Amino acid sequence: MIIAEWRGGQRSANTATNDQPARGSQPVIAGAPGQDVGGIPSRPTKPAAPIPGTIIFPGDAGRDVSLRVDRSGIHVRQNNTETVIPLRDVVPRGVVQMTYSLSLALVLCVIGFPIARALARWIDRRGVAPAVPTNLVERLASVESAIDTVAVEIERIGEGQRYAAKLMAERSHGVPR
């Protein structure tokens, strides 16, 4: 069997069996224009250039399978019959949703953890009492002693008033007017 193959933009003919495909990048159907088939020379023509991005798998008796991917889906072509597999059917919907969920979880862990940690530190710092200056402590101690002194003096005034009231009550009962 004669199989033509592409080499550096030119076509050359190799002989191969069905078990051994010819070496090269993209095999072309046996008996293509410009090659001898069964001893009968064919008319040489310029080979048709393959569509960029198309993968061609050689098949038996010239039934090559070609694959091409574009935005509409995966195009599978054999014997002038083309089947388009939509990309939405290639990846199941659940896998897409799980991918979104895992991506979101990863982003939240990477971004959210430092934010949560900073917020926790800010809350902890808010609860700590600020440092009190030493002169303020001394001033508060003197105010406290002054308040204690005033309280003692008021207690003495109160005792004096009670004593004076008791004496007036005894005089009024003992001496008639």
Q: Residue 41 belongs to what domain range?
A: 1-49
**pTM of the prediction?**
0.28
- Give the alpha-carbon dihedral of 11, 13, 17, 20, to 10 degrees: -40
> Which tens digit of pLDDT belongs to each residue from 5-43?
444 444 444 444 444 444 444 444 444 444 454 555 545
> Which tens digit of pLDDT belongs to each residue from 69-94?
888 888 888 888 888 888 777 777 78
* Same-domain status, 80 and 98: no
* Same-domain status, 25 and 44: yes
| pLDDT higher at 132 or 110 | 110
* Same-domain status, 166 and 134: yes
The confidence score (pLDDT) of residue 48 equals: 55
**Number of structural domains in the chain:** 4
* Same-domain status, 174 and 137: yes
Task: Please tell me the distance from the alpha carbon of residue 150 to that of residue 119, in angstroms, as a whole number.
Answer: 48
Please give the average per-residue pLDDT across 127-149, as a whole number: 87
Percent of the chain residues past pLDDT 90, beyond the cut: 29
* Same-domain status, 109 and 142: no
Residues written for the chain: 177
